[in-house]
Amino acid sequence: MPCGADMNLFTSLPLSSSVFSEWLDGSVPQHPYFDDNAKIQSIVSNIKHRLMSFAIEACHLVLEEIPCEQPQHNVLSQTLSAKPSLWWAVLLAQRYGVIYFMSRGEAQSTYYQLIRKHAVETDIIDNFLRSNAAGVRIINYAVHAYITRGDLHVEYSTFCVPPNAIAAVGPNHVVVRKGDFINRPSSEVLASHSPMWDLHDFAHLSSATLDETLYGNKYQACLVQLPKRLTALIRSPGMRTATGPKISDGLVFSELLTKMYTDAVADISKNAKQTYKSLCTDLANMLAEYYLAKRGLEHPSTGQTMMLRQPILPIELAVLVQNKSYELPASEIEQRVLTRGGAQATTEDALLPLTARERITWLAKSRNWGYFEVRNTIKHRAHKEAYRIVCEELMTQTTDEFEKALLQKTNANILYKDWKAGHRLILWDELPQM
């Protein structure tokens, strides 16, 4: 499976490139239906339109909190009634956690010209949304309303659903913790000045809507049937303290791969340029050696060097590969849904110091990935590529018939061979249950 484009890291594409039909690193993700640009755009637009209708509802509620005689109140009230799309634009450009909910495509096709035409009003709305965390509060309310009043099929579970998370099963079908939504009044949500949700979950919902069988999670339907020692590989307990499984998805992705990526990019800035493909390949090869117990890797939160005593087992690999079949496509489709930034104090987030109007302008004109977008997606690509390398290595070593068959199925899952043959395998269903 290709790791990425053979194009220098952070290179800008020509202005003639389309953010609706091309992918910013110059490659097309090797996932079924990711070439159906019109369908992806329709899915994302529908989800965000419904979300933002609730956001406008919240805008009215927040605006009612301030006195009518306050400066700019008339402008805010008039634009909210007459130009709600302008409020949409400024809301989407607000910083929410480490995410800006506006994509480059939206900025280029819809909002750039709008905020240029209404520059003064845009700045007034932006100042209002930044004050008293109004923008964050509004998005909090909108997501809560989308789940509770958005005509979705909502199921409830605490298994593999972190607090305040939204697990996407398929079109209009999600799993959440009941206490996060049904038992939490909207007034409480609107009062919260801190981001409550992870907007990346709407990238998962977008990919799950694109194809439920391929990209909709099967945690509650399938993973829950496995022994706890295997589900721990996905739940990732103790990943920050290095006290949990050394091959858990969370520990490897959030700890080991983050350090590997940071070090690799630092080396690139000092030395020769590297391509997306070569960076992905380098990370994948190092990580494959870790899974095969051939090298140690640093766990940055503890400073420990992690080293496996024995190679990953085929059954463990199958558990992890199935999970990556949901995580990687969601990371890829983010480009059509949102823009990923960094922590508050980071210097690599180009959008962080900008106003909403400046952010929309930047997004409309940008033709290259940002540091954190590259980090997230390249880490996922390298993670999956490492699984492929390890799978092929283990296939040459095992003599156990069950393991041989399982590794063949795992390889088929990684390369979508099963889907191309007409039947997508759920690897969790191929494993011994409780």
Domain boundaries, the chain: 1-28+225-337+368-434, 37-199+338-366
From CA 382, how far away is CA 285, in angstroms rounded? 8
pLDDT of residue 378: 96
pTM of the model: 0.96
- What letter represents residue 155's amino acid? E
CA distance 354 to 359: 6
**Intervals of the chain under pLDDT 50:** none
Please state whether beta strands 99-100 and 173-176 pair in parallel, antiparallel, or not at all (unpaired). unpaired
At 12 the pLDDT is 87
Q: Residue 323 and residue 427: Cα distance in Å, rounded?
A: 9
The two structure tokens encoding residue 136: 């964050």
Which pLDDT score is estimated for 272? 64
- Residue 24 has a pLDDT of 86
**How many degrees, rounded to 5, is the angle at CA 325 between CA 323 and CA 328?**
100
Note the pLDDT of residue 267. 78
Nearest alpha-carbon partner for 132 in 192, 83, 48, 198:
192
Q: What is the pLDDT of residue 69?
A: 79
Number of C-alpha atoms within 13 angstroms, CB side, residue 157?
17
pLDDT score of 61: 97
Average pLDDT, the chain: 94
**pLDDT for residue 432:** 86
pLDDT score, position 166: 98
Tell how far CA 320 is from the center of its chain.
17
